[in-house]
Structure 1
Amino acid sequence: MKKLLKLALCLVLAASAAGCGNNNGAGTPTPDTSAAALTPGTYTATVTGHNAPITIEVTVTDQAIESINVVESSETAGIGTNAMEQLTDEIIANQTVNLDTITGSTITSATFISAVKDALTQAGADLNTRFNTEVAAEALNDSYDCDVLVIGGGGSGITAAVRAAQTGASVICLEKNGFIGGDTVLNAGTMVATNSRIQKEVLNETQDSSDLLYEDIMKVGLEKNDPVLVRLLADNIGECIDWLTDDLKIAYDAAATQYPDHSASRQIGVVGRSVSFLDQMQALLAQNHGQLFTDVRASKLLTDDNGAVIGALGTDATGKEVTFNAKSVVLATGSFGANQELLPKSLDGYLFYGRDSDTGDGLVMGEAVGAATINLDLVKVYAQGVEKLPTKGLAATASSTAATNGHGAIYVNSKGERVVSEVGTLSDITNATVAQEDKILYLVMDEEAYAAYLAKSVEDKLIPSEASIEDWYSVSNNGKPIIVKGEDLSALAGQMDIDAEALAATVADYNEMCAAGKDTQFDKPDPVALKEGTYVIVEQKPRFATTLGGLKANENLQIVDAEGNPIANLYGAGCVVGGANGADSMTAMMQGWANFSGYTAGTNAAKNAGK
Structure 2
Amino acid sequence: MTLSRRNFLQGTAIGLGGAALAGLVGCAPASQAEDSGGDVSGKDATTPGSDNAPKNVTNTIDCDICIVGAGFSGMVSAVQAAMDGADVVVLEASNTTGGASANGVEGSFGANSKIAKAQGITIDINEILNSEMDQSQWRADGLSWYEMMVNSGDNIDWLMEQGVRIDKVDDYHGKDFQTFHWYEGGIKAGYIDPLTARMEELGVRIEFSMPASELVTDVSGKVTGVLAEPKSGEWTQVNADAVILATGGFGANYELCSNIGYPTDRILSVGSPYDNGSGHDMAVAVGAHDMSDYAADNCGSIIGSVGFDMGNLGFCMKPQIPWINDSCERFYREDNCLVNLSLANPPKWNQRRSFMIWDQAIQDSITAEMEGFADLLERGLAANEGEFYKADTLADLANAVGLDVDELQTFVDEYNAMCVEGVDLIWGKNPEYMVALGSAPYYIAEPINAMFTTIGGVATNRQAQAIDKQHNPIEGLYVVGVEGCMLYRNVYTIGTPGSCSGNSINTARVAVKHAMGS
TM-score normalised over the length of structure 2: 0.72
2:345 matched to 1:438?
A: no
Q: In structure 1, what is the Cα distance between the partners aligned to 2:212 and 2:384? A: 40
Equivalent position of 2:25 in the other structure: 86
Q: In structure 2, what is the Cα distance between the partners aligned to 1:586 and 1:527? A: 25
Q: Aligned to 2:152, what secondary structure does the other structure show?
A: helix
Equivalent position of 1:98 in the other structure: none
Q: Give runs of aligned pairs for residues 263-274 of structure 1, distance below 5 A.
A: 263-267=176-180, 269-271=182-184, 273-274=186-187
Q: Aligned to 2:302, what secondary structure does the other structure show?
A: strand
Q: In structure 1, what is the Cα distance between the partners aligned to 2:480 and 2:465? A: 9
Q: Give runs of aligned pairs for residues 372-387 of structure 1, distance below 5 A.
A: 372-381=288-297, 384-387=300-303
Query: 1:233 pairs with 116, 126, 148, which one?
Result: 148
Q: Aligned to 1:144, what secondary structure does the other structure show?
A: strand
Structure 1 gap ranges (5+): 1-6, 22-77, 91-101, 103-136, 458-465
How big is each residue's C-alpha offset from its partner over 1:210-233, in whole Å with a ceiling of 9 and x where there is no partner?
233223333333433233423332
| 1:245–1:252 CA contact under 8 A, matched in 2 | no
Equivalent position of 2:238 in the other structure: 324
Equivalent position of 1:602 in the other structure: 509
Counterpart AA for 1:283 = A
Q: Give the superposition deviation at 1:585.
A: 1.7
Equivalent position of 1:429 in the other structure: 344
Q: In structure 2, what is the Cα distance between the partners aligned to 1:303 and 1:221? A: 35
Q: In structure 1, what is the Cα distance between the partners aligned to 2:247 and 2:71? A: 7
Equivalent position of 1:527 in the other structure: 432
| 1:561–1:567 CA contact under 8 A, matched in 2 | yes
Cα distance change, pair 238–359 in 1 and its aligned pair in 2 (3 A): same
Query: 1:139 pairs with 6, 31, 41, which one?
Result: 31
2:458 matched to 1:551?
A: yes
Q: Give runs of aligned pairs for residues 389-468 of structure 1, distance below 5 A.
A: 399-400=314-315, 409-413=320-324, 415=328, 417=330, 419-422=332-335, 424=337, 425-442=340-357, 445-453=362-370
Cα distance change, pair 602–422 in 1 and its aligned pair in 2 (3 A): same
Q: Give runs of aligned pairs for residues 177-576 of structure 1, distance below 5 A.
A: 177-197=94-114, 206=122, 208-245=123-160, 248-251=163-166, 253=168, 258=173, 263-267=176-180, 269-271=182-184, 273-276=186-189, 277-304=191-218, 307-339=221-253, 342=256, 344=258, 346-348=261-263, 349-353=265-269, 354-369=271-286, 371-381=287-297, 384-388=300-304, 399-400=314-315, 409-413=320-324, 415=328, 417=330, 419-422=332-335, 424=337, 425-442=340-357, 445-453=362-370, 471-477=379-385, 479-481=386-388, 499=408, 502-503=411-412, 506=415, 509-510=418-419, 513=422, 522-524=427-429, 527=432, 540-576=447-483
Q: In structure 2, what is the Cα distance between the partners aligned to 1:595 and 1:256? A: 14
Q: In structure 1, what is the Cα distance between the partners aligned to 2:19 and 2:356? A: 30
Percent identical pairs in the alignment equals 21
How many correspondences in the alignment? 472
Q: Give the superposition deviation at 1:272.
A: 5.2
Q: Aligned to 2:345, what secondary structure does the other structure show?
A: helix
Equivalent position of 1:129 in the other structure: none
| 1:14–1:282 CA contact under 8 A, matched in 2 | no
Equivalent position of 2:486 in the other structure: 579
How big is each residue's C-alpha offset from its partner over 1:37-82, in whole Å with a ceiling of 9 and x where there is no partner?
xxxxxxxxxxxxxxxxxxxxxxxxxxxxxxxxxxxxxxxxx96753
How big is each residue's C-alpha offset from its partner over 1:427-465, in whole Å with a ceiling of 9 and x where there is no partner?
54223433444133457745453344459x9xxxxxxxx
| 2:300–2:341 CA contact under 8 A, matched in 1 | no
Counterpart AA for 2:508 = A
| 1:188–1:274 CA contact under 8 A, matched in 2 | yes
Cα distance change, pair 501–592 in 1 and its aligned pair in 2 (3 A): same
Cα distance change, pair 490–364 in 1 and its aligned pair in 2 (3 A): closer
Query: 1:593 pairs with 488, 500, 503, which one?
Result: 500
Structure 2 gap ranges (5+): 34-58
Q: Give the superposition deviation at 1:373.
A: 0.7
| 1:383–1:543 CA contact under 8 A, matched in 2 | yes
Counterpart AA for 1:420 = R
Equivalent position of 1:118 in the other structure: none
How big is each residue's C-alpha offset from its partner over 1:368-412, in whole Å with a ceiling of 9 and x where there is no partner?
44x43153322434564214369x9666697349855xxxx3333
How big is each residue's C-alpha offset from its partner over 1:453-488, in whole Å with a ceiling of 9 and x where there is no partner?
459x9xxxxxxxx977765454443x2328x6x9x7
Q: In structure 2, what is the Cα distance between the partners aligned to 1:367 and 1:476? A: 41
| 2:424–2:434 CA contact under 8 A, matched in 1 | no
Q: In structure 2, what is the Cα distance between the partners aligned to 1:393 and 1:156? A: 27
Equivalent position of 2:5 in the other structure: 12
| 2:180–2:497 CA contact under 8 A, matched in 1 | no
The higher relative CO (CA closer than 8 Å, separation ≥ 6) is in 2
Cα distance change, pair 12–557 in 1 and its aligned pair in 2 (3 A): same
Cα distance change, pair 427–177 in 1 and its aligned pair in 2 (3 A): closer
Q: In structure 1, what is the Cα distance between the partners aligned to 2:397 and 2:184? A: 40
2:70 matched to 1:163?
A: no
TM-score normalised over the length of structure 1: 0.63
Cα distance change, pair 139–586 in 1 and its aligned pair in 2 (3 A): same
Q: In structure 1, what is the Cα distance between the partners aligned to 2:166 and 2:400? A: 43
| 1:410–1:443 CA contact under 8 A, matched in 2 | yes
Q: In structure 2, what is the Cα distance between the partners aligned to 1:282 and 1:228? A: 31
Counterpart AA for 1:157 = G
Cα distance change, pair 155–138 in 1 and its aligned pair in 2 (3 A): closer
Counterpart AA for 1:150 = I
